[in-house]
Structure 1
Amino acid sequence: MTTAVATAMSDEQPEFRNSEDNIKRATLCYKRGVEAVEKLNWDLAGEMFLNAVKFCPDKLNFRQLLRNSQCKRYKDNKTGAGTLAKMKLTGIRGRIKKAKVAQTWAEADLACEEGLMLNPWDVALNVELGEVARARGFLDIAKFSLNFARGLDLKNRDINVRLAEVLKEKGEYDEATKIWQHLYNLDPTDAQARSEMTRLQSQKVAEKVEGATTSREAMKEPNVFAKPQREAAAPGQSIELDLKHAIRKEPTRLEHYLKLGEFYKRANKFEEAIEVLNQGLAVSGNSPDVREKIEDIDLLLLERNLENAKVEASKGENEQARLHARSLAEELLKREIEVLQRRTERYPADLGRKYELASRYMRVQNWAQAIPLFQKATQDPRLKVKALFNLGKSFMYDKKLSLARGQFERAIPDLNFDFDPELFKECYYWAGRIAEELKDPAKAEEYYGRVLERDYDYKDTKDRLEGLQGGG
């Protein structure tokens, strides 16, 4: 199954087939890495295991050894290379994004690993690697990476959901159920978690029954008088054909449509995914769960079209291409708002969705809609600082400066420059601007000073501080 998925998504990329030469090179790197581990030379060990991964990217043990060496290299400090890493990681994240848009999964994979060499505890990079590995058909590696990320942020719903999806794809239904149970324990109003637990157990039972039936049929004597059949792909060799056959055999069973839609989604065949899921929507009786899957893929399709349009617009003086890209960006934002409005109504306890919707309202300058959503999002400890900051900006743009100042000052005690340097600088900067506007020069000087301590060239902070100190 894994090989078929990888082949369908790889466009026959050669790295998916480990040649004898690659295996020999990887084995040599592995041996040198083990020798380095014995000598506690973690720099060399990491380098050797990374090379082994390059030669044989589908081998889980190489990834595990690499990650362990990286952690040991930084003495398990949980931050990696520190400030230097953050500067380099910006470029690496850009490479990953471009590679994903271009569907060059091997490049995205390598960029993720290069980033993790700088900070193996970077949650976002571990999640990215999990998704890239899944796209390449390396489900064991996807599970390992997402598990690692989950260990760093156990309450992160997105990471838990991604891991549960991989476990389900691997057929590890009990483990996937545990993940959904964990989410349900965190939020007993999580309707998706409750329904997924039920669905997984039903699928587990159904596949057991189906497997037993298949085994019995396989034991039957062949019909030697039957007419010869047209040659076709053997079961298990083509996931797509197997699922299409399952739909023809059981056209009222929703699970088949969902599996085929997910397969097309992972292969970035978004139009095909939407088509088959619309068929599943009819079978389901217009299930809101299925409709949400269609909406998610529709957004992915719009995102891809926008990225392609941006590439065209950047090629030269092409006003029509720029207008097209702008139009697609506006359409995507409009669709995101529509989708998030429905999701916040369906999942009223999901503060993360409220934050996302508020962020979209900010982009269209709808402060009246954004403000109450950000206020509710501040109740989530994971979102509190960002929600307070954006709440402050919303009040500021809505000309309510005293309220804006209060939100920035509530956010300031929890700001962490090492975790999010841009948020740190921007929050202090705007707090200073508002203090200056409200005729509180002492506070304005304090806030500007905190910015300059970290970034002496940040915006016009230096000029403003000098103006205050000079009495102007």
Structure 2
Amino acid sequence: MEPSLDSNGKLIVCEGKSSRIYQMRDKSSNKKMALKCYHWNDPVLELRYQHLADIKKNNDISFIVPCKFIPQGTTIQGETNPVLLMDWIEGVPFREFIFRAAGVPRILDKLARLVLRIERKMYRAGLAHCCIEPDHIMLGSNASDERGVLILLDYDNIWVPSLAHRNILEISNPDYQHPGRLKEGIYGPLADRFPLLLFYTSLTAIKVMGPKFLKEKAPEQGLLFSKHDLENPNDSQIFKELLGQKDPFLRGLILEIQDSLARPMAWIPTLEDSVKNITQEAEKGSFGWAEVNFDSLPDTGPIEEESHSISLKDTINEMAATAANRILHGDFDAGIQLYIDCCERDPGNLQCRKKLRDAQMKKLDNKPPSGFGLGRSTKSRVQGWLKSSQFAKALEAGEEGLTYNPWDSAAMRVMGRAADGLGFNDTASWLFQSALKISPNDLEILQDLAEFLERQQDFRSARILWEKILRLNPSDQEAKDRAKELGASETMKRMTDNRDVIISSAPKEVTALAEEQRIRTLIQEKPQWAPYYIELTNLLKKANRLEEAESILRIGIVQSEGDKKLLLEIAHLEKLILTKRIDELKHILSQDKTWPFAKIAEDCLKTEQRRRDSELLKLRVEADPANMASKLELGQMLVELGEIDAAITELQQSRKDPRLSWKALISLGKCFSIKGNATLARRNLEDALKSLPQTEDSFRKEILFSLALSYASENDFAKAVEIGNEIANIDFTYQGIGKLLDEWLLRSKQGQ
């Protein structure tokens, strides 16, 4: 293999975004090859190309170029990076070819059919390119020497089911991507649907409108549509112009794009289904010219919204009046439930929430119950909803718990964070203040309220709270720094008298943008300060800009040298992204129950979720090494993940706690059984039996059954029968123990 030279004796090379591609020549066959040299390395690259090679062997995807990934490709100044060797494709870049063929409808029709074929075959192969744009498509010949076909290039970001938990390595051209993908960072089997819909629609529009239209309307990089058009379809001139055409099929496609922009990406149908449905509707006359008349369309949106809000307000008022009447007549349960229903329908209705709390306290004669705090299941639900950013659900679960103890300050604190997440500032403030009134020296409540007030630019109140935190905990360096910084912010605010007026009168989007810019400026001034990154991340999460939030946190982790709060925050964010991907797969299955790759991808994502959970637990254990419950939970999770040696370490420490010892011993028995050490497995299981509470019959049967199987596997059938009889005495139907006893008895007699 040697590099090819042009007529001037120079290397033939193409510059990519993150690599350089050289034309090479095989000396023996004289065949041209492409050598892609990366300037960087990522372990997922090799995995993706391995899976791609396997998929290509078993599927007809001739639009994918055969390639060979070489991990140890180049070494420059001691740094080793991979290379990719593939066939050299002779052809024309997609965008350039479209401009050449814009006046030939027959060719445009063929290209549109090829786009359809690519989507169909990739979906059937369980594959998504995830970086579809004209720079990654050529018109040329494939490996089967089929001429005039579309060839996809650049497979660094491909999605395959067994790597569903991995992230995209490169952001695609925004002129071809759903704005939701750029904000949310969605990466999965549906990532190509929207860009392929854009390609198909662009080809149809060029066929209808002609080459002159393309030359006039094509943006610098896109075909017809730009990032601005996709983010603002109602104000887009190209959308309006194409919707005004007489061709019903073209108009149907434009309406499909607008519908896709208004819905979550997971709800975008396949291009094949879209084309089929649009064709049928166009034949019925559904997209006829008479339907489009922009000037005559009535502007009913605001009226409908107003009537809806009035209807909701009336309903809430009626329900609240009924609730008050029920409580007046002593029917507290019915009244409280009605108030809870009001809060669920209108989470920001502070008046209803205050009346609900009064009713909850009055029901208990205004005396806090002896059992303080939420129940374990309710508490985990509230925290779970909060972690997954489902703030309304967190508020609902919190109110259910407060019905039993309306003085639970911990619940109010979590609910305050949820209300803040929804943007209900008055409700959040009231919940935080209520929690603080009950627990005035609770450091978590003080910190959450201080951070909330700082976001509301009430710097004076926030400073006072941070100073109180510092008095309660003099070693808290964060409290010391924040109090000092807020003192400066308070002074600056007093110097700008009209600032409050400007902020209060500005649109919500403007104030959010100003707040984002303020935090970014603070990060530039003090890049190692972790709380700024968390504050900016929370702002981005509210706007559903998850990918940006993750990127900010990774920068913060580097700058702060691994701050644990940032590590926890990114672990929570990654779990949220994984949950979104699982939801996307569930939606695919609801539409196509026969798609065989969903289960593989879902198992992959759930395994990764457990891995992230274990990482969170490790951080918790590091922060509180004496917490044996966390060590036990971590050990059990590591067993599920197959990390047996690490699990044994955590479980052996947690078994020292008498309250947890039997659970730890059961898990240790499983660990040693997996490692093939039957002696240690039985020893731990027998110790578990000794410390097992009398009420735990299900675990008793499980332990005895494991012991019986262990002895039977070593041909000690007499011992297996002895233990099996104990199980049969408790539950004769358990795991078919009756039949096993017969078998072991027979084997025992044969061995005598």
Calculate the TM-score normalised by the size of structure 1: 0.62
Say what the alpha-carbon RMSD is for the aligned residues: 5.6
Aligned-partner residue type, residue 478 of structure 2: R
Conserved in 1, the CA contact under 8 Å of 2:520 and 2:536? no
5 Å matches for 1:235-246?
Answer: 238-246=511-519
Deviations 1:212-268 (A, max 9, x none): 221023289xxxxxxxx9xx9479973453132342366223343331113334555
Aligned-pair distance for 1:179? Answer: 8.6
User: Is residue 135 from structure 1 mapped to residue 417 from structure 2 by the alignment?
Assistant: no
Conserved in 2, the CA contact under 8 Å of 1:270 and 1:298? no
Give the match's secondary structure for 1:238.
helix
Give the match's secondary structure for 2:649.
helix
In structure 1, C-alpha distance between the alignment counterparts of 2:571 and 2:650, rounded to whole Å: 22
In structure 1, C-alpha distance between the alignment counterparts of 2:471 and 2:704, rounded to whole Å: 45
Deviations 1:353-391 (A, max 9, x none): 533432232113333321220121245577556444433
5 Å matches for 1:258-273?
Answer: 258-265=534-541, 268-273=544-549
Structure richer in strand, relative to its length: 2
Aligned-partner residue type, residue 199 of structure 1: E
Match of residue 520, structure 2, among 227, 247, 252: 247
- Partner in structure 1 of residue 650 of structure 2: 373
Aligned-pair distance for 1:44? Answer: 3.0
User: Is residue 300 from structure 1 mapped to residue 576 from structure 2 by the alignment?
Assistant: yes
Conserved in 1, the CA contact under 8 Å of 2:663 and 2:688? no
Aligned-partner residue type, residue 643 of structure 2: N
- Partner in structure 2 of residue 28 of structure 1: 321
User: Is residue 433 from structure 1 mapped to residue 705 from structure 2 by the alignment?
Assistant: yes
Match of residue 408, structure 1, among 662, 685, 688: 688
Conserved in 2, the CA contact under 8 Å of 1:164 and 1:177? no
Conserved in 1, the CA contact under 8 Å of 2:357 and 2:406? no
Higher mean alpha-carbon deviation, 15-24 vs 237-246, is at 15-24
- Partner in structure 1 of residue 604 of structure 2: 327
Deviations 1:436-472 (A, max 9, x none): 456377776666766x6xxx9xxx4285379879x97
Q: 1:116 to 1:436 in 2, by over 3 A?
A: farther
Q: 1:24 to 1:347 in 2, by over 3 A?
A: closer
Match of residue 532, structure 2, among 256, 267, 276: 256
- Partner in structure 2 of residue 49 of structure 1: 339
In structure 2, C-alpha distance between the alignment counterparts of 1:387 and 1:289, rounded to whole Å: 29
Aligned-partner residue type, residue 734 of structure 2: T
- Partner in structure 2 of residue 65 of structure 1: 358
In structure 2, C-alpha distance between the alignment counterparts of 1:397 and 1:123, rounded to whole Å: 45
Aligned-pair distance for 1:35? Answer: 0.7
Conserved in 2, the CA contact under 8 Å of 1:33 and 1:48? no
Conserved in 2, the CA contact under 8 Å of 1:445 and 1:468? yes
Aligned-partner residue type, residue 203 of structure 1: R
Conserved in 1, the CA contact under 8 Å of 2:704 and 2:727? yes
In structure 2, C-alpha distance between the alignment counterparts of 1:212 and 1:122, rounded to whole Å: 36
Match of residue 449, structure 2, among 167, 176, 181: 167
In structure 1, C-alpha distance between the alignment counterparts of 2:578 and 2:385, rounded to whole Å: 16
Give the match's secondary structure for 1:318.
coil
Aligned-partner residue type, residue 207 of structure 1: L
Conserved in 1, the CA contact under 8 Å of 2:617 and 2:634? yes
- Partner in structure 2 of residue 420 of structure 1: none
In structure 1, C-alpha distance between the alignment counterparts of 2:418 and 2:447, rounded to whole Å: 14
5 Å matches for 1:7-406?
Answer: 20-21=313-314, 24-25=317-318, 27-36=320-329, 39=330, 41-54=331-344, 56-58=346-348, 59=350, 60-65=353-358, 67-68=360-361, 105-106=391-392, 109-110=395-396, 113=399, 132-136=418-422, 137=424, 138-140=427-429, 143=432, 166-171=448-453, 197-218=476-497, 233=506, 238-248=511-521, 251-253=524-526, 254=529, 255-265=531-541, 268-281=544-557, 283-284=559-560, 287=563, 289-313=565-589, 315=591, 316-334=593-611, 336-337=613-614, 348-349=625-626, 351-379=628-656, 386-398=663-675, 399=678, 400-406=680-686
Q: 1:329 to 1:19 in 2, by over 3 A?
A: closer
Q: 1:395 to 1:20 in 2, by over 3 A?
A: same
Aligned-pair distance for 1:406? Answer: 3.4
Give the match's secondary structure for 2:524.
coil
Higher mean alpha-carbon deviation, 393-402 vs 126-135, is at 126-135
Aligned-pair distance for 1:166? Answer: 3.3
In structure 2, C-alpha distance between the alignment counterparts of 1:353 and 1:317, rounded to whole Å: 41
Q: 1:430 to 1:289 in 2, by over 3 A?
A: same
Conserved in 1, the CA contact under 8 Å of 2:415 and 2:428? no
In structure 2, C-alpha distance between the alignment counterparts of 1:208 and 1:462, rounded to whole Å: 68
In structure 2, C-alpha distance between the alignment counterparts of 1:310 and 1:161, rounded to whole Å: 41
Conserved in 2, the CA contact under 8 Å of 1:261 and 1:277? yes
Higher mean alpha-carbon deviation, 361-370 vs 242-251, is at 242-251
Give the match's secondary structure for 1:218.
coil
Conserved in 2, the CA contact under 8 Å of 1:243 and 1:259? no
Q: 1:267 to 1:67 in 2, by over 3 A?
A: farther
Conserved in 1, the CA contact under 8 Å of 2:466 and 2:483? no
Aligned-partner residue type, residue 324 of structure 1: A
Conserved in 2, the CA contact under 8 Å of 1:133 and 1:141? no
Higher mean alpha-carbon deviation, 319-328 vs 124-133, is at 124-133
Aligned-partner residue type, residue 427 of structure 1: F
Q: 1:445 to 1:145 in 2, by over 3 A?
A: farther
Conserved in 2, the CA contact under 8 Å of 1:354 and 1:376? yes
Q: 1:71 to 1:288 in 2, by over 3 A?
A: same
In structure 2, C-alpha distance between the alignment counterparts of 1:256 and 1:140, rounded to whole Å: 21
In structure 2, C-alpha distance between the alignment counterparts of 1:345 and 1:282, rounded to whole Å: 20
Deviations 1:113-167 (A, max 9, x none): 56776999999998986664453344257648989999xxxxxxxxx99756633
In structure 1, C-alpha distance between the alignment counterparts of 2:722 and 2:339, rounded to whole Å: 54
Q: 1:202 to 1:239 in 2, by over 3 A?
A: farther
Aligned-partner residue type, residue 515 of structure 2: D
Conserved in 2, the CA contact under 8 Å of 1:431 and 1:447? no
Aligned-pair distance for 1:199? Answer: 0.9
Conserved in 2, the CA contact under 8 Å of 1:313 and 1:322? no
Higher mean alpha-carbon deviation, 140-149 vs 339-348, is at 140-149
Deviations 1:163-191 (A, max 9, x none): 56633433467778989999x9xxxxxxx
Alignment gaps of 5+ in structure 1: 1-10, 151-159, 185-193, 221-228, 417-423
Conserved in 2, the CA contact under 8 Å of 1:130 and 1:142? yes
In structure 1, C-alpha distance between the alignment counterparts of 2:644 and 2:360, rounded to whole Å: 44
Q: 1:110 to 1:375 in 2, by over 3 A?
A: same
